[in-house]
Chain A
């Protein structure tokens, strides 16, 4: 976890006007099946964005996307991390994991499709809404997955 004022590009963002001063850059490790802690990173992200004075609508969208990403990592991945980068123009959330990978991304993006267990469904998740919800909250959404290597989901929310 780090904070810095050094200019660096917001990874995977692209477009816009290149790199601007990074206000904050943090990484939260997410542990598989740690349901008790799931949501803690999203709550911290929400708190940090609020403290930066970002408008409540954008904070909420980022928090919802972060929470869905966090739940996905806890439910499906064999360990990973959620990172937050904020610069003057955008909020970038990046979910990275080490596997198992998504065999069919178009299927995973379909609302209602899920490979989650009954245990997860009993917690109110696993209804195939995670990735679609993340996309719904984003201005820019990208997902790349390789079987055995892992998945990277990038969510960019523009800050006016």
Chain B
């Protein structure tokens, strides 16, 4: 579904990436406050729901190729973090719902989870 539909479902406010509301298609999401878990176990093009508002969330989104970030429990990042997200083209939204309910609403509306269960191992064809 479109990012704009997700915004309506969870009553969110858009903080960055307004231009993507009607165009960005979201199929998968995850909920986490631990950025190393997001880096290790999520696929690209995933929407992250988190209670963490530091710049590192935006950095994680950039490195891991996430679709966007939803801040839960009424939390709001600082202006610096919003500016960084705008600069990097990462949509940010804020909702008053807690993490569990945010994930539940999205899951109930047909958004799938994303979790890499297999650990990466050396590929035989890698030549190293």
A residues bordering B, Cβ < 8 Å? 13, 15-17, 35-36, 38-40, 42-43, 46, 56, 60-61, 63-64, 66-68, 71, 89-90, 122-125, 127, 129-130, 133, 136-137, 139-140, 156-160
Partner of B126, one of A39, A43, A133, A158: A158
A139 neighbours in B (Cβ, 8 Å): 122-123, 126, 128
Q: A62's closest neighbor in chain B, by CB?
A: B63
> How far does the alpha carbon of A117 sit from the alpha carbon of B104 in the complex, in Å?
32
> B105-125: which have CB < 8 Å to A?
119-120, 122-123, 125
A123 neighbours in B (Cβ, 8 Å): 35, 52, 54, 56
A158 touching B128, Cβ below 8 Å: yes
Pick from B1-9, B22-30, B36-44, B92-100 the stretch touching chain A: B36-44
B54 neighbours in A (Cβ, 8 Å): 35, 122-124
Partner of A90, one of B65, B88, B128: B128
B62 touching A39, Cβ below 8 Å: yes
B37 neighbours in A (Cβ, 8 Å): 127, 129
Partner of B57, one of A36, A43, A124, A136: A124
> B61-100: which have CB < 8 Å to A?
62-65, 80, 88
Report if B21 contacts A (CB, 8 A): no
> How far does the alpha carbon of A140 sit from the alpha carbon of B112 in the complex, in Å?
33
B63 touching A43, Cβ below 8 Å: yes
Closest-CB distance, A9 to chain B (whole angstroms): 13
Report if B33 contacts A (CB, 8 A): yes
B residues bordering A, Cβ < 8 Å? 33-37, 39-40, 44, 50, 52, 54-57, 59-60, 62-65, 80, 88, 119-120, 122-123, 125-128
Partner of A133, one of B33, B40, B59, B127: B40
Q: B52's closest neighbor in chain A, by CB?
A: A124
Partner of A89, one of B59, B64, B123, B127: B127
* Given known contacts A68-B39, A133-B40, A158-B127, A127 and B34 CB-to-CB distance under 8 angstroms: yes
* Given known contacts A38-B56, A60-B65, A124-B52, A136 and B40 CB-to-CB distance under 8 angstroms: yes
B128 touching A15, Cβ below 8 Å: yes
> How far does the alpha carbon of A108 sit from the alpha carbon of B100 in the complex, in Å?
32
B62 neighbours in A (Cβ, 8 Å): 39, 43, 46
B60 touching A124, Cβ below 8 Å: yes
